[in-house]
Amino acid sequence: MKDRVVVVTGASSGIGAALAEILTGAGASVALVARRERELAAVAAKCGPSALAIPADVTKRSDVARALETALTRFGHLDVWVNNAGRGMSRMVSELTDDDLDEMMRINVKSILYGMQAVLPHFRERGTGHIINVSSMLGRVPFAGIRAGYSASKHAMNSLTANMRMELAGAYPGIHVTAVHPGVVATEFGNHSLHGGMDSRTFPGAQSAEEVARVIADTIEKPRADVYTRPEGQKVIVAYYAAEDMAEAEKKFGPLPRP
């Protein structure tokens, strides 16, 4: 990890902030990107002189481009770009409005696309690099109908991630593209969900942000395409898609209580 330079979006709290601390503790330099300037500065201060805070809104392509240039000006090059920024939402499919779906795609899909497209020319020029997109188990299976719009956006993110990986595989084998799939994480994510949400920190067995961040840090050291932050995660996915009748498989998920 020493001497690597990593951009982390959504770095003002939660997984992003925890990842920044782990990376700088291991000798990396980090560019921390988020909208909340005060919180971002506090995370950067905890990380020390090898951290750079870049206030920016990653749902704006121009802000992402500026964040890239700011990081390159400070560090000279980038090794990893972690698209971690995102937001949840609480509404069933039957309740979704145009604005709901547009908001989920703007925050959870377009921001990831902007990040990948912004950093790609730099990685191509160097012939090496690593894009990591933080997705969700809900981007694979319908655990929670109340998260339908969020789940749909993460499915879209997964598709873009896989297609980017396949696009680069032949000509740029040194550029890795990874999707990371956490389950419930004990952060303020639920509280900040559009239309309200249950406090993710109250869910039994929720992973800590630090635990998820350690999985991401390990993925930087040992790149792989698809990563589940819990060992049983992939088994759940395989079992669901291998089911002879998905409707029967879905019954065991049960409904997530409304906020």
Assess if residue 219 is contained within a domain: yes
What tens digit of pLDDT does each residue of 64-114 get?
A: 999 999 999 999 999 999 999 999 999 999 999 999 999 999 999 999 999
Query: Known catalytic residue: 241?
Result: no
258 within a domain of the structure (yes/no): no
- Residue with the bigger pLDDT between 218 and 200: it is 218
Q: Which tokens belong to 175?
A: 């550029």
* DSSP 8-state code for residue 81: E
- Asked whether the predicted pLDDT for residue 194 surpasses 80, the reply is no
**pLDDT of res. 255:** 55
**How high does pLDDT run on average in the chain?**
92
Share of the chain above pLDDT 90, in %: 78
Asked if residue 154 is part of any domain, the answer here is: yes
Q: Is the pLDDT of residue 253 over 90?
A: no
CATH number of the domain within which 57 lies: 3.40.50.720
Considering the entire predicted model, what is its pTM? 0.93
Residue 256 lies in a domain: no
Q: Which residue has the higher pLDDT, 1 or 14?
A: 14
Is 127 part of a structural domain of the chain?
yes
Q: Which residue has the higher pLDDT, 70 or 184?
A: 70
Q: Is residue 222 part of a domain?
A: yes
Listed range (90-94, 180-184, 187-191, 234-238) with the worst mean pLDDT: 187-191
Surface-to-core class of residue 77, CB atoms within 10 Å of its CB (0-12 exposed, 13-18 middle, 19+ buried) = middle
Domain range spanning residue 109? Answer: 5-251
Q: How many domains does the chain have?
A: 1
Tell me if 257 is assigned to some domain: no
Options 150, 172, 228, 241, the catalytic residue: 150
Q: Which amino acid is at 148?
A: A
- Residue 257 pLDDT more than 70? no
Exposure pattern of 35-57 as b/e (b: 16+ CB <10 Å)? beeebbeebbeebeebbbbbbbe
- Residue 250, Cβ density class (10 Å: 0-12 exposed, 13-18 middle, ≥19 buried): middle
Report pLDDT for 155: 97
**Is residue 203 included in any domain, yes or no?**
yes
